[in-house]
Structure formats: C-alpha cells, structure tokens
Amino acid sequence: MMQSIRFKVLLTAIESFIKNALNVQVKDELNSDYGGFRCPDHLVCEPWSAINTFATIAIIFLNPKSRYYHSSELLKSMKMALQFIKRSINDDGSMNVYFWGEIRTKSTLPFVLNTLMKSYRLLAKHNIDDGLINDLGTLIKRCIEVVKSCPIENSTQGLTIASALIDFDKLFFDRSASDKAISYLFDRVDINHDGMYGGKSLSISMLSNAMLLNIAKKLNRPYMIDYVRRNLNFVLHNFRQDGGFALDYMINAGMDYTKPLEYSVWKEMSIIDHNGYYATAGDMLVSSFINSMENGYINYRPNMPHVNNSFRDHSRFFLTSNIGEFLLVEDELNNEGVSRLSLPSNYVKTFIDSNIARFKNGKMNAILMTESENLFSLENGQAVISHFRIKYKYYGYHIFMPKKLEIAGGSYILRDWFYHNKDSENIVGISQANLIIQVEFVYKHDHFEVLVSATGEKGIAFLLEFGIKKIGTLSIDNKEHILGNADLIPMDGKEATIKVGSDIIKICGGIVQHKIYCDKSLWVRDIRNVNIVMTPITPFSNRFNIFWK
C-alpha cells in the first residue's frame, strides 16, 4: 500500500516537472540551443540537465499510468533534446557544464553515459521509434570509445566507467567492453573500516555504492556488496528526523544531484539484507525529496537549515531533472515485505578511522571532526551552528586543523602545535613547539562543555568563530538581532541565544581581547552566516558551554 501511494505522489511531482521542461525547451530551429532546456535560474541550456530530462521524459512517456503515456508531444520533445545532446558532446568527449560558470570538461561523461544507456534500454525494450533509438545508440557508441581511453582521476570515476562498460556489453553484445571494465576494477575499494569513502562526499559515496551494486550483480562479485553495506551503516548515523542529513563535511563536499541513485541503493540493499533500517532510510529520503518540491522544481527554502547555502546557487532545473528515476526505482524494486525499523534517535557514535564523533539527542544533531577547518557543527531543529573554527595570527594567518581525534574518558580532544622554524633538525616533539593548541569537548545530556587553550609564545591573536545560519533571531547583551540582517558579533563572557520558533541554542562564555578581526583584509569571513566571535590572546584557557533546549 505504501509503495502504491508513493508511486502516485511521485508521478504527480514528475508530471509537474515535465510541464516545466516542455515550457522551457528551446523550439526555435535557428537557435543554437535548439532542443535544450533553458534553466529559468541561470538562463543557459545545460547538457547534463538535458540528458537527465531526456531520461525522465522517456520514463514518463512509457508509463501507462501517466497522462503523458505515449504522448506525441513528449516523443517530439525527446527527438529535439537528443539533437541538442548530440551537438553538446564534443568529439573528444568533453561537454560544457555551468555549475560554477561555464566549464568544458570530460569528467562528467562516464556519469551521463550511465543515464543515456538507461534511456536506451527503456526505449529499445518498448521498440519506440527506430530513428530515435538508432540515433541514441550511435551517440552511446561514440561516447564509449572516448570513455575507454579516459584517464582515471579517482576511484569513483573508475567504478562508473567500469559499470558503463559492463552495461554497454549487455546492451550491444560487445565482450571487449566487459574485458576493459575488469581492468578498471581493483582488489580494494577506497573506503576505510568505518565505511567512509575517500571522497568524503555523500553524493560521491552513493555514486560509488550504485556502481558497486551494478558491478557486483553483473560480474557475480558479491563481496563488493559488503563495501556498500559498510558505507550505508556509516551514513545511517547522519540522518535527520525529517529525512534530510545533519550538517557535516559530507553535505558540504558535493552537489546534491544523486537522490534517485541514493534511493535505489537504500531500497535494493533493504531487499538484499532484509534490513528495516535501510528501508526506513529510503522512505525518509524520498519523502524529503517530495516535500522539497514546489511548482515542479526542488525548492531549497531559506528555512531548511540542513541545506548547504551553495546548493541555492545551483540550478533548480538541474537538481530536479533526474526525478524520473525515482519512478523507475518504484517500478523495478518492491520492498513492501521489509518491516520498517525506526532509526536511532539518541546516541553517541565515534568513528575512529575517520576521526569523527556524532551526537544525536532527539532533534539535536552534532558532529565533531578533524582534518577540516570546520571542527564542530550543531543543529537543534532549525536553530543551527553551521561551523565552529579557530584561526590565529602567527607568522602569517593559520586555521586550526588537527589530524586526530583523541578520546579520554568522556572528553573528545583535538590538538595541534606550531613550530616557527619548521626546518630545524633539532625539533623532536611537541615539547619544543612554539605554540600548542588544544580543544576539549565534553558531552552532557543537554549541552557541550568546551575548553580551548593555547600555550607557548605570548601575545598571539586568536579568533574563535561560530557560523550561525541566518534564520531566526540572536539575543546577546540584552540586544536582539535579526539573523538575516546581522554580520559579525563579538561576545565577551555574555550569553548568546539563537532562537528559531521554539528551537533554541545558547552559547555561554568566551572572551574578547583584541579587534584584529575588524580588519576585513586580514580575516576572511563566511558571509553566508552570522559570525559570533571570541578573540583571546595567548596564553589563554577559554571555557564556554553550548546548550540546546
């Protein structure tokens, strides 16, 4: 029953996107973008969007429950879109992307090739228009020849190429493609014991999972599924109650363009392992996606705290264009027989190999991490500290980025040290460092106690910076600030209260001993957030607390 209801909701959402796509498609044959879909946000026709939209149109065109089933308008749209796609992929396999301005790149070809073959498989299976199928097949063959000679930039790209070559063999009976695919596979995948892939990106992780599942099934390599299982168990601890993801480096590291792939991975693995947690995760993910739809597009609203600000700079059309694949997953996979299990809502989880600690208490999510300038983030509902970072001025400007998370009793410790003369042959350890920095977090039932200390050379200026999402209000020193209008606020032993509706975070303590941060040429601020700063000078031991209500 749940699957049939979700199918209807998805169908409605996809049809609303199709209506938008038809409205923005360039139909003037004299226009160089003829057949493309002009993004209403960026006013460009992006090839990757067109490839995704072509697949979504094909899926809806072939679905008998859709009002667009076998629509002549959609068939014409697919033919126009394919002409644009063919013109957009150059002979060397490069294509233009517009995520951060116009960039010509080959790196996207393996990813879009998987989508093109998915479209070909559907259209060929239903024998829809020989001319369209032949044109698409010719394009795929041209792209495959380019992909065979592509240098491997990272393990995910290697897996994606291997998966594409295997699928090409299945579609076009080219054994040499599968043989080539095997040469891209290695005995080990770039994933640590915790289940974190080397790319440290949720999107890249799920791409890797999807490719590994495909390869495991088609080459009969079941051991590859264990990598997927390990990563999913890692990601499970990053879910929010509404199906989004808690703030951390995994969200900030990449664009959120793989939702249908993520859904297919959760759903298929729930069937393979009969795992109720995976099934629940998939349900939450697709519900979150549907809830973010507005007027036929994904709409990342300002009151969605878990969304990386940079996503709002990306095209809504692009991020919605592969929505049709959700329906394909619903058609091909049924996990109604898997009993759902509620995801854990109260835990402390430490990932030793990844140097990450995650904390969850109801709607409070927090993460502590190393090897990142963002050491800590916390969200309590919609009230959000998106980052806590430490900067200091000592023979230049530096950011505190410790390499290891140490755990002692109930304390989580980050430390690093700085040598003025790094080339000295006489330096043998921390005892000879010019500057020693230590941060200690202690987790309580309703707050974190934080102690930041720096010893060694005297008179070094530090900046302890909290990035607060520009949502709600901030009260400090009997003054209330509208966060949407604020910029930088120093606090000196006072209490800062962040409030969004009934969601509250309080920061208590801290000292202000200098105002170097006022010089914008010296300190680089994150203008997407309100910055609350503490500014001690060495030597210091600065204690403060972070409460949530």
Query: Bridge-partner residues for 443, per DSSP?
Result: 448
Residue type (1 letter), 314 = H
Cβ neighbours for 425, distance < 8 A, ≥ 6 positions apart = none
Structure token pair of residue 163: 């998966």
CA distances from 67 to 11, 51, 75, 290 (A): 10, 22, 14, 19
pLDDT value of position 312: 46
Query: Bridge-partner residues for 439, per DSSP?
Result: 414, 452
Q: How far apart are the first and last CA of the chain?
A: 38
Cis peptide before 539 (omega within 30 of 0): yes
pLDDT value of position 6: 87
Phi first, then psi: give them for residue 179, nearest 5 degrees: -60, -40
The sign of the dihedral angle between the CA atoms of 261, 263, 266, 268 is negative
Half-sphere exposure of 348 (CA within 13 A, CB side): 10
CA distances from 187 to 285, 367, 396, 495, 496 (A): 31, 32, 44, 54, 52
203-215 pLDDT, tens per residue? 888 999 999 999 9
The sign of the dihedral angle between the CA atoms of 172, 176, 180, 182 is positive
348-372 pLDDT, tens per residue? 999 999 999 999 998 899 999 998 8
- Characterize the bridge pairing of strands 529-534 and 461-469: antiparallel
CA-CA distance, 372 to 249, in Å (whole number)? 8
Half-sphere exposure of 422 (CA within 13 A, CB side): 3
Half-sphere exposure of 531 (CA within 13 A, CB side): 18
Element (H, E) at 464: strand 461-469
CA-CA distance, 119 to 536, in Å (whole number)? 59
CA-CA distance, 194 to 205, in Å (whole number)? 13
Phi first, then psi: give them for residue 218, nearest 5 degrees: -85, -20
Which residues in 379-404 are b (16+ Cβ under 10 Å) and which e? bbbbbbbbbbbbbbebeeebebebee
Give the pTM. Answer: 0.87
pLDDT value of position 417: 87
Structure token pair of residue 307: 């969304």
pLDDT value of position 549: 73
Nearest CA among 329, 332, 321 for reference residue 14 = 321
Cβ neighbours for 524, distance < 8 A, ≥ 6 positions apart = none
pLDDT along the chain (549 residues), means of 10: 81 95 95 93 89 96 95 96 93 70 68 93 92 96 88 84 94 92 81 86 87 94 94 88 58 58 94 96 90 85 42 73 93 92 91 93 92 91 92 87 92 88 54 86 94 93 92 88 85 87 92 74 67 92 91
Nearest CA among 199, 290, 299, 222 for reference residue 13 = 290
pLDDT value of position 241: 66
Query: By the 8 A CB rule, do 161 and 150 touch?
Result: yes
Per DSSP, helices labelled H in 173-248 are 175-183, 202-218, 224-235
CA distances from 178 to 1, 142, 174, 183, 192 (A): 40, 17, 7, 9, 28
pLDDT value of position 299: 79
Residue type (1 letter), 323 = I
Q: Going from the N-terminus, what domains does the chain have, and what CATH number goes with each?
A: 2-332 (1.50.10.10), 347-548 (2.70.98)
pLDDT value of position 253: 40
Length of the chain counted residue by residue: 549
- How many CB atoms neighbour CB 253 within 10 A? 16
